[in-house]
Amino acid sequence: MNDRKSATSTPALLAVSLALLAPLPALAQPPASGAPVQAAANSSSKAPNTAAAQQSAMDERALNLFSEVFERVRGQYVEKVTDEQLVKAAINGMLTSLDPHSSFLDTEDFAEMQVQTRGEFGGLGIEVTLENGLVKVISPIDDTPAARAGFQSGDLITQIDGEPVMGLSLKQAVDKMRGPVGQPIKVMVRRGVTEAAPFEVSLTREVIKSQPVKQRAEGNVGYIRITGFSRQTQPGLEKAVQTLQNEIGSKLIGYVVDLRNNPGGLLDQAVSVADSFLDKGNIVSTRARDGVETQRFDATNGDLTKGLPIVVLVNGGSASASEIVAGALQDQHRAVLLGTQTFGKGSVQTIMPLTEQKAMKITTARYYTPSGRSIQALGVTPDITVEQAKLEKVAQAPTRKEADLRGALSNDTVAKPPAGAAPGAPGAPAPVTTKSDAAPGSAEDYQLQRAVDLLVGTSLFRQLPGQAPGQASPSPMVTKTSG
């Protein structure tokens, strides 16, 4: 595509507008009355030439109207505006009127989009949020300047290079912390409510690779959180699975893959993540405006999780690429989806560079899950609907049991427990310890605990002696619901 630059004169503006309008369908306006139509050389070419002439006439009228509006705004608007401002607004208006996801990317937007897709930038290596006007550290990223400097979760950044952060937006503050690799930066940090005074930390910016994948063990369950789909996602997933397999070992009974509040990202990364859990079958397909399939992505042999059961957590913040993964694993009966209805973004956007620093993002296709369903404006319905909730421990009055009754018979099948020992249930399967067991009554992630409970229950059920041969081995979970 040829470079298109902002116009500085009306002829140049018309050239830019013509280039932008040419591929679009004809505007719904009739040709000018009495407009000349060039006669065809023969009857077979008359209709095409007439249609071309009508199209040209309508394009000319549309451009003349646009030019007139442009000139009047430039000459009569209450404040002075530049040609570049007007052209940018016109292009952006054209694109944003199509759907919520098509837009014009100026220099700043294009650069930020490239940072997000690469997952790399020059910075300090901290995940932050905004709290009471100050930048609050969520966590430092391992092996980064912030981690080596000793940043802790909960630290408050009050100044960046001597400038107070109070009054800045989160994006403005983050932009100030990012910068060229090797460039020094000083930040003022306040730690805890008892800290006498803020202290200054000097750091040097390095290349930071975002961490869209994190993992931890929930007892014998591997928990994997995916926050986005950048170039770092698939390598991060492979590392997370390997870490959990090494940490939990043979006691690993399944995985929880958390896609909640994941806004999406790159299509190829979503395909790779879904492929990591599948051995065969379709993952996703796309169709353009004519309904013809334009792309089809199928799984390749090899399952990172070795067939262990998977529960995928989703909610209303799971969108786009997240829904591709969730829909593929659900349709292929590879995972159980737990949570709430997803966002419902079933379209594909293509980035089309206009210059080296500007681009347009336009919706070019819809995507479809393996069963052929479109989730556009509908979302993915989980197999098990679980709303997020906060549990509180309910105080229970002491209850009397058989063993508390005076003269109660002892159990003759077990040895008498030591004094002070809690009664147990000999012969029963040992419970799988999770964080909820370790900290009962604390504020926890209710949906995550239900996912863990599902995997634990499935594992215990398979250990029952009445199971048919082969059922005790790990296999994909299949859940069917009606409606």
Q: Which of 320, 322, 436, 459 is catalytic?
A: 320
Count of beta carbons in the 10 Å neighbourhood of residue 182 = 10
Cα angle 425, 447, 330 (rounded to 5 degrees) comes to 105
d(CA 17, CA 11): 10
Q: Which of 155, 275, 331, 383 is catalytic?
A: 331
Instruction: Record the tokens describing residue 220, joined without a space.
Output: 């014998």
Amino acid in position 210: S
d(CA 439, CA 391): 12
CB 337 within 8 A of CB 326: yes
* SS3 of residue 314 by DSSP: strand
- Please choose, from the candidates 90, 96, 91, 98, the residue with its C-alpha nearest in 3D space to the C-alpha of residue 25: 98
**Alpha-helix runs per DSSP H in 250-320:** 267-276
d(CA 168, CA 150): 24
Query: Residue length, the chain?
Result: 483
Instruction: Record the tokens describing residue 407, joined without a space.
Output: 């003269």
Q: DSSP code of 9?
A: S
320 classed as catalytic:
yes
345 classed as catalytic:
yes
* SS3 of residue 438 by DSSP: helix
* SS3 of residue 78 by DSSP: coil
Q: Which of 345, 358, 361, 435 is catalytic?
A: 345
480 classed as catalytic:
no
Q: Please identify every residue annotated as catalytic.
A: 320, 331, 345
